[in-house]
Structure 1
Amino acid sequence: MTDTVAAAVDVLRARALEGVAHGFLGRGGGVSTGAMAGLNVGHGSGDDPALIAENRRRAREAVMPGAPLLTVYQVHSPDCVVVAAPWHDEARPRADALVTDRPGLLLGILTADCAPVLLADREAGVVGAAHAGWKGALGGVTDATIARMCELGARPERIAAAVGPCIAQPSYEVDDGFRARFLERDAACGAHFAAGAAGHWQFDLEGFVADRLAAAGIARVERLARDTYADPARFYSYRRATHRGEPSYGRQISLIGLAAAS
């Protein structure tokens, strides 16, 4: 990949993960066109597979050049898998989070309003990535990710986490039934809902995910505070595409890995 192309890929980094190869990527620097113009990496988007493959290559090269990129078939679950070796995209497991202690592997999570979460215990040499939509977040996908990291030698108090670009509270209107699901789990969840139009609420997905991480013992949690819905030039958004009546939508990717020994 040329320096020009590398520079064009839009990569946000978290201070909490400094020193770890990672990035929350936007749509800048890709080759897709039309409604999915940019760095669309979603196999399920209906985009040209050749363009998706090139976008994935560019994403990988922007964060960990030459590393195999591992993603999962995301199903809005709380399930997390341990990655010990590369797999083919066609054989990717159904899950919503990945962890590894193997250097040289790049973990990726796709989002288009859901919250991407990247985690690292530098001392243990363990990293993780989680796709936290409201279903997965409520079901415990971040808790499962932390638990699997601990199986590999991580400790919660040493793990740093960052919550990347996702739909923000002002853009995320939900109804009474949605809010009730959270209140049934814990009345304290009400703190993440602000009153909106009659019978509706504004949900703070980023805040909810960050609080789940803190409750699990993660001492350092960074919020990037970027609204995917409100920034069409930089991010893909499922809800925005739905409101506009667009036939499909792109997906951005968030990546983390352990550098291979030189």
Structure 2
Amino acid sequence: MQVRLDKLRNIFAFQTKQLKIRRAKNKDKQQILPFCTHTFSWGDYIDRVWDKWIAEKNLLTLEEKEKAVGICNVGISPNQIWIEGIRINPKYRRKGYASKLIIAAEKIAKRKKLHYSRMIIANNNKRSLSMAKKLGYRIEDKWWMYNLSPKRQKTSAKLATSAQNLQSLIKSDTYCESWNWLILDKKALSKLIKAGRVIVHSKNSKPQAMGIWNKTSRLDDDVMQLGYLSGTKTGIKEIVQFMQNKGFEEKSDRIQLLVQDAIKLSITGLDRRMLFCLVKKEIRFN
């Protein structure tokens, strides 16, 4: 669920004549995208989500002397904000601008009475992890990203039709939906089941494993994504094979799995790519 930001004018206590944080405008694209091309070894994704973020009106821009030098997107979902896409022009780094954007996002959470703020940071990004810690965030969990090729497979896993007996398979407070970690509770699980996005493997009518899938990863339309996985070793293998089948049927280029670090996968053809830290902060209203 996305909720538009409104009445932003008066929520930034640090706004000055030199520095301003505001809702992003489409014209900011000309100043922002040029420094969002080599963020990662493979490039960046901001150009692919820019129009979507602008349309949702959840994207913040930081200006210095009327020049757009930083951005941060604020995803709004039940009881939390999701902070993503923090980018600062290299010429303006080491000024605490990323922290200011995060604080601005938290002010939005306070105004909307949302109790949590979360974001994902690569495990090897020590600078960003240190910044998050100073701002009061703690590592809630660690998640691995894996890649796997689509393939025709035999599997007894199927789409869940009921949440009955699935509660014991919820081993996380969150699940990943297209690179947004959202709260996973009974209400969310019921909605996901109705949407045909929960996969279950059962033995003797008792659920042994559960997965939550996304048709795409949002960043890549040809990538199918599994955003949650839990259960027995055999059950997990069946869920993964279900995903391989789905990917084959949908003609996906590859399957991307986001899996908690505590779950050790050993599946032929699985490519373990990168470890991420999910960080969380409780928003205080005093």
Fold conserved between structures, TM > 0.5? no
Structure 1 or 2: more strand by fraction: 2
Structure 1 or 2: more helix by fraction: 1
Which structure has the greater CA radius of gyration? 2
Normalised TM-score (structure 1): 0.29
- Larger RCO (CA under 8 A, 6+ residues apart): 1
Normalised TM-score (structure 2): 0.27
